[in-house]
Amino acid sequence: MNKGDRQRAAWALYEWAQQPYWALIATFIFTPYFAAGFVGDPARGQSLLGYAGAVSGLLIAVFSPLVGASVDARRNPRIWLVGLAIPFVLASGALWFATPGDASRILPILICLVVAGVSAELSGSVMNALLPLVAKPGQVGRLSGSAWALAYVGALISLFVVLLCFSLPTVPMLGLSKALHEPDRIVGPLVAVWFLAFSWPLMMMAPQPPKIAGQKPLAELWTTIRSLRRRPWMLRFLIGRMLLGDGISSFIAFGGVLAAGMFGWTTTQLGLYAIALSIAAGIGTFIGGRVDQKLGSKTTVLIAAGVVLFGAFGVGLVGRDSLAFVLKVAPPVAGGGLFTSLPERVFLGFSLFVGLTFGPAQASLRAWMAQLAPAGESGRWFGLYALSGKATAFMAPLVIAVGTRWVGDQRIAVAVSALFLATGAVILARVPRQGPEPEAAA
């Protein structure tokens, strides 16, 4: 294996290292536990998570362009990866202390969620900036999609570990107490250990961007922002990506919270739900990388966005004891088995449509950005890419938080997500498949 192959493998492995955070903490296990178990009131818990997401979005919006510009200016990306790993690991591990019924720990745990989320997003921005440097010519989309698929395999394995070792056994491994929700809380330390075990190869062999004499991060960042007037296609892409990505992220982040609150799903049910979505996402992303190679990133993104929107619309029609708001059906019965009620099965079915395509949408958006970004400027543009992914990220969680508190219906999260999704897809439809030659953009 030559140096380039090792770097590509390390880059993809970093995606694998990060994915359990999104699966176990941010989406399927810990945040539903936070809302329904730790806080004890699903609607209030969802509202608090919305406010935390808003704070995270603001911090990422401020810092991600600076990190990207710094990578371009040959501030060693390895230093950034190591520096961001420290708060991520500490904050993730500290989630173990979310003891149920201890209201005094709600704020510290929210702070840990913010720190872990911001660190994960910023390190992802550094990783994305390295994509054009490690991918073979013409295979950016394929590498991006393959890495996403590998990441979902990692998510699956971590979910199986939680289920088989801590959730399903009558006596969980390590003597964990189900009464104290320790199988839910152990995911924080597990994510921290997993990340440390698999992220180090990229930290050691991340390629160095080519040095450009006299380059200053803040000045170059400001120049890049000003150049948006001469690159209207980039502005449209960033706005469209901002709205589409925020819609997808909101649906993913609040889907498990919604299921836990509406159906009373336990860790076992949430874990199986997560496994089903992760399998669908892994298959969809692997296929999506090949579709991207054949049809292009733009077409892949728009097809995926349409399917995600269809799935989100279907999920929004499901209630605890109704379908489409008017058809009354039997609600879930406590102890009645896994996914035995019609609302649960319909919810799961429509969610799988989202699972199949949210991975390809995100992977191809990243590849599309790499094709649009001018040569030698990938770091700062991926910094803006991360910014666009979070510039409105505080808005959707904030609207969800306020809407949930006002309406009292957790399904407001689905409606907000669908609105962002649809608007982003319409804007992206007007963006070219790739940017013009450098002289045309000057």
Write out the DSSP string of 35-103.
IIIISS-HHHHHHHHHHHHHHHHHHHHHHHHHHHHHHHTT--HHHHHHHHHHHHHHHHHHGGG--TT-G
pLDDT of 441 > 50? The answer is no
CA distance 315 to 284: 19
Q: How far apart are CA 358 and CA 425, in angstroms?
A: 13
Confidence grade of residue 437 (pLDDT, cut at 50, 70, 90) = low
Q: What is the pLDDT of residue 90?
A: 98
Q: How many residues belong to the chain?
A: 442
CATH number for the domain that contains residue 37: 1.20.1250.20
Structure confidence at residue 17 as a pLDDT band (50, 70, 90): very high
Q: Give the total number of structural domains in the chain.
A: 1
131-135, 302-306, 356-360, 410-414: which has the minimum mean pLDDT? 410-414
User: What are the structure tokens assigned to 319, written together?
Assistant: 């209630």
And the tokens for 152? 């979902």
- Mean pLDDT of all residues in 338-364: 84
Residue 4 has pLDDT above 80, yes or no: yes
Distance CA 250, CA 415 (A): 10
Confidence band for 400, pLDDT divided at 50, 70 and 90? confident
For 96, list phi and psi in degrees, rounded to 5: -55, -30
**Is pTM, for the whole model, over 0.75?**
no
Q: Where do runs of H (alpha helix) occur along 135-231? A: 140-162, 182-185, 187-205, 217-226
Ranking 73-77, 99-103, 390-394 by mean pLDDT, the lowest is 390-394
pLDDT digits (tens, 9 = 90+) for 168-216: 888 899 899 998 999 999 999 999 999 999 999 999 998 876 665 555 6
How sure is the predictor about 439, in pLDDT bands with cuts at 50, 70 and 90? very low
> By CB neighbour count within 10 A (0-12 exposed, 13-18 middle, 19+ buried), where does 296 fall?
middle
260 vs 201: which has the higher pLDDT: 201
Q: How many CA atoms lie within 13 A of 278 on its CB side?
A: 26
For residues 398-403, give the mean pLDDT. 73
Q: What is the per-residue pLDDT across 219-246, written as a single tens digit (0 to 9) for each?
A: 666 777 788 888 888 889 999 988 888 7
- Residue 221 is part of which domain span? 3-441
Task: Please determine, for residue 97, whether its predicted confidence score (pLDDT) is greater than 90.
Answer: yes
Count CA atoms within 13 Å of residue 47 on its CB side: 14
Residues 294-323 have a mean pLDDT of: 87
pLDDT at site 13: 95
Give the Cα separation of 123 and 56 in Å (integer): 14
